[in-house]
Amino acid sequence: MVIRRELGANGRLLYNILIDASDSTCMQAPSHNRKAIQNPAILIPTSENQKIDPWVCAGIPKKIKINSNLNHHYTFDNFIEGECNRLARSAGYAIADNPGGNAFNPMFVYSATGLGKTHLLHSIGIKIKENFPDKTVLYVSSEDFLRQFIASVKNQTVNDFNYFYQSIDVLLMDDIHNFAGKAATQEQLFHLFNYLHQNNKQIVLTSDKSPLEMEDIEPRLLSRFKWGLSAQLTPPDAETRVQIIKSKIMDDGGIVIPDDVVEYIAYRISNNVREIEGVLKTILAESILSKRTITLDLVRGIIDQIATNTNKEVSIDYIKSVVCDHFNISVNDINSNTRKREIVQARQLVMYFSKEYTQSSLAKIGKLCGNKDHATVLHAHRTVKNQCDTNKKYKLQVQDLEKKLKC
Ligand code: ADP
Ligand code: MG
Protein backbone atom coordinates (compact mmCIF):
# COMPACT_ATOMS: atom_id res chain seq x y z
CA MET A 1 0.00 0.00 0.00
CA VAL A 2 2.74 2.39 0.95
CA ILE A 3 4.65 1.54 -2.25
CA ARG A 4 1.61 2.10 -4.41
CA ARG A 5 0.90 5.36 -2.64
CA GLU A 6 4.49 6.56 -3.00
CA LEU A 7 5.48 5.13 -6.41
CA GLY A 8 2.21 4.62 -8.20
CA ALA A 9 0.64 1.43 -9.61
CA ASN A 10 3.86 0.22 -11.28
CA GLY A 11 6.01 0.57 -8.15
CA ARG A 12 7.88 -2.66 -7.18
CA LEU A 13 9.85 -3.57 -4.08
CA LEU A 14 13.03 -5.49 -4.97
CA TYR A 15 14.91 -7.30 -2.22
CA ASN A 16 17.58 -9.98 -1.69
CA ILE A 17 17.65 -12.42 1.21
CA LEU A 18 21.10 -12.88 2.70
CA ILE A 19 21.58 -16.02 4.76
CA ASP A 20 24.25 -15.88 7.42
CA ALA A 21 26.18 -19.02 6.49
CA SER A 22 28.41 -18.73 9.52
CA ASP A 23 25.49 -19.88 11.63
CA SER A 24 26.43 -23.52 11.68
CA THR A 25 23.43 -24.50 13.80
CA CYS A 26 20.98 -23.55 11.08
CA MET A 27 19.76 -26.86 9.65
CA GLN A 28 16.48 -25.94 7.98
CA ALA A 29 16.79 -25.86 4.25
CA PRO A 30 14.46 -23.32 2.65
CA SER A 31 11.25 -25.16 1.99
CA HIS A 32 11.35 -24.88 -1.82
CA ASN A 33 14.87 -26.24 -1.88
CA ARG A 34 14.07 -29.02 0.54
CA LYS A 35 11.28 -30.18 -1.70
CA ALA A 36 13.63 -30.36 -4.62
CA ILE A 37 16.22 -32.35 -2.71
CA GLN A 38 13.80 -34.87 -1.35
CA ASN A 39 12.32 -35.81 -4.67
CA PRO A 40 14.77 -38.30 -6.18
CA ALA A 41 12.78 -38.29 -9.40
CA ILE A 42 14.23 -34.92 -10.31
CA LEU A 43 17.83 -35.94 -9.79
CA ILE A 44 19.74 -36.20 -13.02
CA PRO A 45 21.73 -39.44 -13.18
CA THR A 46 25.46 -39.15 -13.60
CA SER A 47 27.83 -41.92 -14.56
CA GLU A 48 27.80 -44.56 -11.81
CA ASN A 49 31.58 -44.50 -11.58
CA GLN A 50 32.00 -40.78 -11.40
CA LYS A 51 33.11 -39.96 -7.89
CA ILE A 52 31.28 -36.91 -6.68
CA ASP A 53 32.67 -35.24 -3.67
CA PRO A 54 29.48 -34.18 -1.90
CA TRP A 55 31.10 -30.94 -1.03
CA VAL A 56 32.08 -30.03 -4.55
CA CYS A 57 28.41 -30.41 -5.47
CA ALA A 58 27.59 -27.31 -3.53
CA GLY A 59 24.07 -26.15 -4.11
CA ILE A 60 21.95 -29.25 -3.98
CA PRO A 61 19.14 -27.52 -5.82
CA LYS A 62 21.29 -28.37 -8.83
CA LYS A 63 19.98 -31.72 -9.92
CA ILE A 64 22.47 -34.45 -9.06
CA LYS A 65 22.55 -38.11 -8.32
CA ILE A 66 25.06 -38.83 -5.62
CA ASN A 67 27.70 -41.50 -5.77
CA SER A 68 27.18 -43.77 -2.78
CA ASN A 69 30.91 -44.22 -2.24
CA LEU A 70 30.37 -47.95 -1.76
CA ASN A 71 33.20 -50.43 -2.12
CA HIS A 72 31.79 -53.36 -4.06
CA HIS A 73 34.46 -55.72 -2.74
CA TYR A 74 32.84 -55.56 0.69
CA THR A 75 29.61 -57.56 0.52
CA PHE A 76 27.57 -59.72 2.86
CA ASP A 77 28.56 -62.71 0.76
CA ASN A 78 32.22 -62.38 1.61
CA PHE A 79 31.65 -61.15 5.18
CA ILE A 80 32.14 -64.50 6.90
CA GLU A 81 29.69 -65.11 9.70
CA GLY A 82 30.78 -66.23 13.15
CA GLU A 83 29.82 -65.77 16.77
CA CYS A 84 31.98 -62.64 16.57
CA ASN A 85 29.63 -60.76 14.25
CA ARG A 86 26.33 -62.66 14.25
CA LEU A 87 24.22 -59.95 15.87
CA ALA A 88 25.63 -57.08 13.81
CA ARG A 89 25.47 -59.08 10.60
CA SER A 90 21.83 -60.13 11.03
CA ALA A 91 20.82 -56.62 12.13
CA GLY A 92 22.56 -55.36 8.97
CA TYR A 93 20.46 -57.71 6.88
CA ALA A 94 17.27 -56.58 8.65
CA ILE A 95 18.18 -52.96 7.94
CA ALA A 96 18.78 -53.74 4.28
CA ASP A 97 15.28 -55.27 4.10
CA ASN A 98 13.60 -52.20 5.52
CA PRO A 99 15.91 -49.20 5.86
CA GLY A 100 14.57 -46.59 8.25
CA GLY A 101 11.56 -48.72 9.16
CA ASN A 102 13.19 -51.17 11.55
CA ALA A 103 13.98 -51.21 15.25
CA PHE A 104 17.70 -50.68 14.63
CA ASN A 105 17.83 -46.97 13.95
CA PRO A 106 20.51 -45.95 14.49
CA MET A 107 22.61 -49.06 14.38
CA PHE A 108 25.84 -48.46 16.21
CA VAL A 109 28.64 -50.93 15.42
CA TYR A 110 31.79 -50.87 17.50
CA SER A 111 34.99 -52.89 17.77
CA ALA A 112 38.75 -52.69 17.84
CA THR A 113 40.44 -52.06 14.51
CA GLY A 114 40.51 -54.67 11.75
CA LEU A 115 37.42 -56.60 12.79
CA GLY A 116 35.07 -55.71 9.95
CA LYS A 117 33.21 -52.47 10.81
CA THR A 118 33.91 -50.82 7.46
CA HIS A 119 33.25 -54.06 5.60
CA LEU A 120 29.86 -54.42 7.28
CA LEU A 121 28.92 -50.80 6.56
CA HIS A 122 29.58 -51.26 2.84
CA SER A 123 27.74 -54.61 2.82
CA ILE A 124 24.65 -52.93 4.25
CA GLY A 125 24.83 -50.12 1.69
CA ILE A 126 25.31 -52.50 -1.23
CA LYS A 127 22.41 -54.70 -0.13
CA ILE A 128 20.13 -51.67 0.26
CA LYS A 129 21.02 -50.49 -3.24
CA GLU A 130 20.22 -53.99 -4.52
CA ASN A 131 16.87 -54.05 -2.71
CA PHE A 132 15.96 -50.39 -3.26
CA PRO A 133 17.87 -48.91 -6.21
CA ASP A 134 16.13 -45.56 -5.81
CA LYS A 135 17.25 -44.98 -2.24
CA THR A 136 19.95 -42.39 -1.78
CA VAL A 137 22.66 -44.21 0.13
CA LEU A 138 25.88 -42.59 1.27
CA TYR A 139 28.97 -44.11 2.87
CA VAL A 140 31.09 -41.39 4.42
CA SER A 141 34.15 -41.60 6.62
CA SER A 142 34.26 -39.31 9.62
CA GLU A 143 37.37 -37.68 8.15
CA ASP A 144 35.51 -36.74 4.96
CA PHE A 145 32.51 -35.45 6.88
CA LEU A 146 34.81 -33.36 9.04
CA ARG A 147 36.74 -32.05 6.04
CA GLN A 148 33.55 -31.17 4.16
CA PHE A 149 32.08 -29.39 7.15
CA ILE A 150 35.21 -27.33 7.80
CA ALA A 151 35.37 -26.37 4.13
CA SER A 152 31.71 -25.36 4.19
CA VAL A 153 32.27 -23.07 7.12
CA LYS A 154 35.29 -21.56 5.41
CA ASN A 155 33.45 -21.05 2.11
CA GLN A 156 30.22 -19.98 3.79
CA THR A 157 28.30 -22.83 2.22
CA VAL A 158 27.04 -24.58 5.33
CA ASN A 159 23.49 -24.55 3.98
CA ASP A 160 24.58 -26.51 0.93
CA PHE A 161 26.31 -28.94 3.22
CA ASN A 162 23.08 -29.37 5.13
CA TYR A 163 20.92 -29.72 2.03
CA PHE A 164 23.20 -32.41 0.75
CA TYR A 165 23.11 -34.49 3.91
CA GLN A 166 19.38 -33.95 4.40
CA SER A 167 18.77 -35.51 0.99
CA ILE A 168 20.14 -38.88 2.08
CA ASP A 169 17.93 -41.89 2.82
CA VAL A 170 20.64 -44.08 4.32
CA LEU A 171 23.65 -42.53 6.03
CA LEU A 172 26.54 -44.94 6.70
CA MET A 173 29.08 -43.04 8.76
CA ASP A 174 32.38 -44.69 9.62
CA ASP A 175 34.66 -44.16 12.65
CA ILE A 176 32.73 -41.46 14.46
CA HIS A 177 35.16 -41.66 17.39
CA ASN A 178 37.17 -39.17 15.30
CA PHE A 179 34.63 -36.51 16.28
CA ALA A 180 35.84 -36.58 19.89
CA GLY A 181 36.52 -33.03 21.03
CA LYS A 182 35.20 -31.50 17.78
CA ALA A 183 32.30 -29.51 19.22
CA ALA A 184 31.10 -27.73 16.07
CA THR A 185 31.07 -30.92 13.99
CA GLN A 186 29.23 -32.74 16.78
CA GLU A 187 26.64 -29.98 16.80
CA GLN A 188 26.22 -30.36 13.05
CA LEU A 189 25.91 -34.12 13.35
CA PHE A 190 23.39 -33.71 16.16
CA HIS A 191 21.04 -31.66 13.99
CA LEU A 192 21.58 -33.91 11.00
CA PHE A 193 20.87 -36.96 13.13
CA ASN A 194 17.61 -35.45 14.36
CA TYR A 195 16.54 -34.46 10.89
CA LEU A 196 17.23 -37.87 9.36
CA HIS A 197 15.78 -39.81 12.28
CA GLN A 198 12.58 -37.76 12.35
CA ASN A 199 12.18 -38.38 8.65
CA ASN A 200 12.62 -42.16 9.08
CA LYS A 201 15.93 -42.21 7.30
CA GLN A 202 18.36 -44.97 8.25
CA ILE A 203 21.56 -44.21 10.12
CA VAL A 204 24.39 -46.68 10.71
CA LEU A 205 27.45 -45.54 12.63
CA THR A 206 30.71 -47.22 13.53
CA SER A 207 33.18 -46.45 16.26
CA ASP A 208 36.15 -47.98 18.03
CA LYS A 209 34.28 -47.77 21.35
CA SER A 210 30.76 -48.37 22.59
CA PRO A 211 28.60 -45.28 23.26
CA LEU A 212 29.17 -45.94 26.97
CA GLU A 213 32.94 -45.72 26.65
CA MET A 214 33.23 -42.81 24.20
CA GLU A 215 34.87 -39.71 25.55
CA ASP A 216 34.62 -36.05 24.54
CA ILE A 217 31.35 -36.57 22.71
CA GLU A 218 28.35 -34.47 23.75
CA PRO A 219 25.96 -36.38 26.04
CA ARG A 220 22.91 -35.50 23.89
CA LEU A 221 24.63 -37.06 20.86
CA LEU A 222 25.70 -40.10 22.86
CA SER A 223 22.16 -40.60 24.12
CA ARG A 224 20.91 -40.64 20.51
CA PHE A 225 23.51 -43.25 19.55
CA LYS A 226 21.86 -45.50 22.13
CA TRP A 227 18.34 -45.17 20.68
CA GLY A 228 18.65 -48.13 18.36
CA LEU A 229 20.95 -51.13 18.48
CA SER A 230 24.56 -51.20 19.63
CA ALA A 231 26.37 -54.25 18.32
CA GLN A 232 29.95 -55.20 19.03
CA LEU A 233 32.25 -57.06 16.66
CA THR A 234 34.65 -59.28 18.58
CA PRO A 235 37.72 -61.15 17.31
CA PRO A 236 36.68 -64.21 15.30
CA ASP A 237 37.24 -67.64 16.83
CA ALA A 238 39.77 -70.02 15.27
CA GLU A 239 37.23 -71.78 13.07
CA THR A 240 35.90 -68.50 11.67
CA ARG A 241 39.45 -67.26 11.08
CA VAL A 242 40.19 -70.36 9.03
CA GLN A 243 37.04 -69.74 6.97
CA ILE A 244 37.96 -66.08 6.48
CA ILE A 245 41.46 -67.06 5.33
CA LYS A 246 40.07 -69.61 2.88
CA SER A 247 37.63 -67.09 1.48
CA LYS A 248 40.37 -64.47 1.06
CA ILE A 249 42.57 -67.04 -0.70
CA MET A 250 39.74 -67.72 -3.15
CA ASP A 251 39.25 -63.98 -3.70
CA ASP A 252 42.96 -63.60 -4.40
CA GLY A 253 42.90 -66.10 -7.22
CA GLY A 254 42.91 -69.33 -5.27
CA ILE A 255 46.63 -69.99 -4.71
CA VAL A 256 47.17 -73.27 -2.94
CA ILE A 257 48.06 -72.88 0.73
CA PRO A 258 48.30 -76.17 2.65
CA ASP A 259 45.73 -76.63 5.42
CA ASP A 260 48.31 -76.74 8.20
CA VAL A 261 49.67 -73.39 7.03
CA VAL A 262 46.15 -71.91 6.99
CA GLU A 263 45.62 -73.16 10.54
CA TYR A 264 48.98 -71.83 11.58
CA ILE A 265 48.14 -68.32 10.31
CA ALA A 266 44.74 -68.52 12.01
CA TYR A 267 46.37 -69.44 15.25
CA ARG A 268 49.14 -66.87 15.20
CA ILE A 269 46.91 -63.90 14.35
CA SER A 270 43.71 -63.90 16.32
CA ASN A 271 42.83 -60.25 16.97
CA ASN A 272 42.92 -58.49 13.64
CA VAL A 273 41.62 -59.72 10.29
CA ARG A 274 43.42 -56.89 8.47
CA GLU A 275 46.73 -58.33 9.68
CA ILE A 276 45.73 -61.76 8.43
CA GLU A 277 45.08 -60.17 5.03
CA GLY A 278 48.49 -58.48 5.08
CA VAL A 279 50.17 -61.82 5.69
CA LEU A 280 48.16 -63.47 2.90
CA LYS A 281 49.13 -60.73 0.44
CA THR A 282 52.80 -61.19 1.27
CA ILE A 283 52.47 -64.96 0.89
CA LEU A 284 50.81 -64.39 -2.48
CA ALA A 285 53.67 -62.13 -3.59
CA GLU A 286 56.28 -64.63 -2.41
CA SER A 287 54.57 -67.46 -4.22
CA ILE A 288 53.88 -65.63 -7.50
CA LEU A 289 56.76 -63.20 -7.80
CA SER A 290 59.52 -65.12 -6.03
CA LYS A 291 58.09 -68.50 -7.03
CA ARG A 292 58.64 -69.86 -3.53
CA THR A 293 56.82 -72.88 -2.20
CA ILE A 294 54.52 -71.98 0.65
CA THR A 295 55.84 -73.78 3.68
CA LEU A 296 55.28 -73.38 7.37
CA ASP A 297 58.78 -71.95 7.73
CA LEU A 298 58.22 -69.31 5.05
CA VAL A 299 54.94 -68.24 6.63
CA ARG A 300 56.41 -68.20 10.13
CA GLY A 301 59.09 -65.79 8.86
CA ILE A 302 56.50 -63.56 7.17
CA ILE A 303 54.32 -63.39 10.26
CA ASP A 304 57.26 -62.60 12.52
CA GLN A 305 58.30 -59.83 10.13
CA ILE A 306 55.05 -58.04 9.38
CA ALA A 307 52.41 -58.90 11.96
CA THR A 308 52.10 -57.25 15.33
CA ASN A 309 50.08 -58.66 18.21
CA THR A 310 50.63 -62.26 17.25
CA ASN A 311 50.15 -65.26 19.45
CA LYS A 312 53.48 -66.80 20.26
CA GLU A 313 52.05 -70.28 20.32
CA VAL A 314 52.32 -72.10 17.08
CA SER A 315 51.29 -75.29 15.37
CA ILE A 316 51.39 -78.86 16.62
CA ASP A 317 54.42 -79.28 14.37
CA TYR A 318 56.23 -76.58 16.27
CA ILE A 319 55.31 -78.14 19.62
CA LYS A 320 56.64 -81.45 18.38
CA SER A 321 59.93 -79.89 17.32
CA VAL A 322 60.44 -78.16 20.69
CA VAL A 323 59.59 -81.28 22.71
CA CYS A 324 61.73 -83.51 20.49
CA ASP A 325 64.66 -81.09 20.79
CA HIS A 326 64.32 -81.19 24.54
CA PHE A 327 64.34 -84.99 24.74
CA ASN A 328 66.77 -85.37 21.89
CA ILE A 329 64.47 -87.69 19.96
CA SER A 330 63.11 -87.51 16.43
CA VAL A 331 59.67 -86.28 15.33
CA ASN A 332 59.17 -89.66 13.64
CA ASP A 333 59.25 -91.27 17.09
CA ILE A 334 56.31 -89.11 18.19
CA ASN A 335 54.43 -90.03 15.03
CA SER A 336 55.15 -93.72 15.46
CA ASN A 337 53.44 -96.31 17.65
CA THR A 338 56.47 -97.07 19.75
CA ARG A 339 55.74 -97.69 23.45
CA LYS A 340 59.28 -96.90 24.69
CA ARG A 341 58.87 -95.04 27.98
CA GLU A 342 60.66 -91.82 27.07
CA ILE A 343 58.86 -91.61 23.71
CA VAL A 344 55.48 -92.14 25.39
CA GLN A 345 56.31 -89.39 27.86
CA ALA A 346 57.33 -86.97 25.09
CA ARG A 347 54.23 -87.85 23.06
CA GLN A 348 52.05 -87.15 26.09
CA LEU A 349 53.67 -83.76 26.47
CA VAL A 350 53.08 -82.95 22.81
CA MET A 351 49.41 -83.87 23.28
CA TYR A 352 49.20 -81.81 26.47
CA PHE A 353 50.70 -78.67 24.94
CA SER A 354 48.67 -79.09 21.76
CA LYS A 355 45.46 -79.16 23.78
CA GLU A 356 46.55 -76.24 25.95
CA TYR A 357 48.03 -73.99 23.30
CA THR A 358 46.36 -74.72 19.99
CA GLN A 359 42.80 -74.58 18.79
CA SER A 360 43.03 -78.08 17.28
CA SER A 361 40.41 -80.68 18.14
CA LEU A 362 41.34 -83.67 20.28
CA ALA A 363 40.76 -85.92 17.27
CA LYS A 364 43.20 -83.90 15.18
CA ILE A 365 45.84 -83.83 17.91
CA GLY A 366 45.54 -87.61 18.28
CA LYS A 367 45.79 -88.13 14.54
CA LEU A 368 48.98 -86.08 14.35
CA CYS A 369 50.54 -87.89 17.31
CA GLY A 370 50.75 -91.45 16.02
CA ASN A 371 47.12 -91.88 14.91
CA LYS A 372 45.70 -92.01 18.41
CA ASP A 373 42.06 -91.33 19.26
CA HIS A 374 40.66 -88.40 21.22
CA ALA A 375 40.39 -90.45 24.45
CA THR A 376 44.14 -91.05 24.39
CA VAL A 377 44.74 -87.30 24.08
CA LEU A 378 42.46 -86.61 27.04
CA HIS A 379 44.23 -89.28 29.07
CA ALA A 380 47.65 -87.82 28.17
CA HIS A 381 46.48 -84.35 29.18
CA ARG A 382 45.20 -85.62 32.52
CA THR A 383 48.41 -87.60 33.16
CA VAL A 384 50.66 -84.57 32.56
CA LYS A 385 48.48 -82.40 34.83
CA ASN A 386 48.49 -85.01 37.61
CA GLN A 387 52.24 -85.40 37.39
CA CYS A 388 52.69 -81.62 37.58
CA ASP A 389 50.61 -81.64 40.77
CA THR A 390 52.61 -84.40 42.40
CA ASN A 391 56.12 -84.16 40.99
CA LYS A 392 58.00 -80.90 41.40
CA LYS A 393 60.87 -81.87 39.12
CA TYR A 394 58.44 -82.89 36.39
CA LYS A 395 56.55 -79.62 36.80
CA LEU A 396 59.77 -77.63 36.35
CA GLN A 397 60.49 -79.53 33.18
CA VAL A 398 57.01 -78.71 31.83
CA GLN A 399 57.48 -75.03 32.73
CA ASP A 400 60.84 -75.04 31.00
CA LEU A 401 59.24 -76.42 27.85
CA GLU A 402 56.45 -73.84 28.10
CA LYS A 403 59.02 -71.05 28.12
CA LYS A 404 60.68 -72.46 25.03
CA LEU A 405 57.33 -72.69 23.25
CA LYS A 406 56.49 -69.09 23.98
CA CYS A 407 59.74 -67.44 23.01
P1 ADP B 1 37.58 -52.13 10.75
O2 ADP B 1 36.75 -51.15 9.97
O3 ADP B 1 36.85 -52.72 11.92
O4 ADP B 1 38.92 -51.60 11.14
P5 ADP B 1 37.61 -53.53 8.24
O6 ADP B 1 36.17 -53.60 7.93
O7 ADP B 1 38.43 -52.54 7.49
O8 ADP B 1 37.84 -53.37 9.80
O9 ADP B 1 38.21 -55.00 8.06
C10 ADP B 1 39.59 -55.22 7.85
C11 ADP B 1 39.73 -56.28 6.79
O12 ADP B 1 39.30 -57.52 7.35
C13 ADP B 1 38.84 -56.02 5.58
O14 ADP B 1 39.55 -56.25 4.41
C15 ADP B 1 37.70 -57.01 5.74
O16 ADP B 1 37.28 -57.48 4.47
C17 ADP B 1 38.32 -58.11 6.55
N18 ADP B 1 37.33 -58.77 7.43
C19 ADP B 1 37.02 -58.45 8.70
N20 ADP B 1 36.08 -59.28 9.19
C21 ADP B 1 35.77 -60.13 8.18
C22 ADP B 1 34.86 -61.22 8.05
N23 ADP B 1 34.07 -61.60 9.07
N24 ADP B 1 34.82 -61.87 6.88
C25 ADP B 1 35.63 -61.50 5.85
N26 ADP B 1 36.50 -60.49 5.91
C27 ADP B 1 36.58 -59.80 7.06
MG1 MG C 1 37.25 -49.20 9.35
pLDDT in tens, 289-319: 888 899 988 998 999 888 887 776 568 998 9
- Closest residue by Cα to atom 14, ligand 1, is 274
Instruction: Fill in the DSSP letter of residue 232.
Output: E
Predicted model pTM? 0.70
CA of 387 to the centre of ligand 1 (A): 44
CA of 74 to the centre of ligand 1 (A): 8
Residue 44 has pLDDT above 60, yes or no: no
Q: Spell 87-105 as b/e; 16+ CB within 10 A means b.
A: ebbebbebbbeebbebebb
The whole-number pLDDT of residue 224 equals 96
296: CB partners within 8 A, 6+ apart: 260, 261, 264, 315, 317
- Protein residues with CB under 6 Å of any ligand 1 atom: 74, 78-80, 85, 111, 113-119, 244, 273-274, 277
- Closest residue by Cα to atom 11, ligand 1, is 274
pLDDT band at residue 39, thresholds of 50, 70 and 90? Answer: very low
**Which atom of ligand 1 is nearest the CA belonging to 78?**
25
Contact predicate 83/34, CB 8 Å: no
| Ion ligand 2 contact residues with beta carbon within 5 A | 117-118
Give 314-369 as a DSSP string. --HHHHHHHHHHHHT--HHHHHS----HHHHHHHHHHHHHHHHH----HHHHHHHT
Q: Kindly state the average pLDDT of the residues 4-20.
A: 56
The whole-number pLDDT of residue 255 equals 83
**Which atom of ligand 1 is nearest the CA belonging to 120?**
6
Distance CA 32, CA 27 (A): 14
- Closest residue by Cα to atom 16, ligand 1, is 119
The whole-number pLDDT of residue 407 equals 64
The whole-number pLDDT of residue 12 equals 61
59: CB partners within 8 A, 6+ apart: 157, 160, 163
- Closest residue by Cα to atom 23, ligand 1, is 80
Residue 257 has pLDDT above 50, yes or no: yes
Q: Which of 204-208, 254-258, 287-291, 335-339: highest mean pLDDT?
A: 204-208
pLDDT in tens, 58-81: 444 444 578 999 999 999 999 999
Distance CA 247, CA 277 (A): 11
pLDDT band at residue 55, thresholds of 50, 70 and 90? Answer: very low
Give the three-class secondary structure for 198: helix
pLDDT band at residue 5, thresholds of 50, 70 and 90? Answer: low
